[in-house]
Amino acid sequence: MDYKKTNAPATTITRDQDELDAKTGNIYQTVMIVSKRANQISVEMKQELNRKLEEFASYTDNLEEIFENREQIEISRFYERLPKPVLISLQEYVEDNVYFRTPEENPEEIAE
């Protein structure tokens, strides 16, 4: 997913609890869905950041070269300015972009 184009807010905003639990009927289940998606997003973002930073990795750095790498610093700052994974996952949930299912919906899956 392209997190640069997300319309999630960069700061926390107040949400209506009744709107959030309308899809599941249980606010705790909603929180679990959002938190699991946030963990997935966090892992993806971390892997993407690490791939980009590996391009700048050199194993014979001296101390001066580490502090002078402007491109690496700009990449890190860009990822720091992105909305947090929880805010992205909550926005996805509100926009119905998160697929989830519960075992109660499919009793035959529980029996297997």
Select from 82, 76, 100 the least CA-distant residue to 41.
82
| Confidence at residue 108, expressed as pLDDT on a 0 to 100 scale | 61
Residue 6: pLDDT above 80? no
Q: Is 6 exposed, middle or buried (0-12, 13-18, 19+ CB in 10 A)?
A: middle
Burial class (CB in 10 A: 0-12, 13-18, 19+), 30: buried
* 76 burial type by CB count under 10 A (0-12 exposed, 13-18 middle, 19+ buried): middle
Q: Check residue 105 and give its pLDDT.
A: 63
Q: Could you read off the pLDDT of 30-59 as tens digits, one per residue?
A: 999 999 999 999 999 999 888 888 877 666
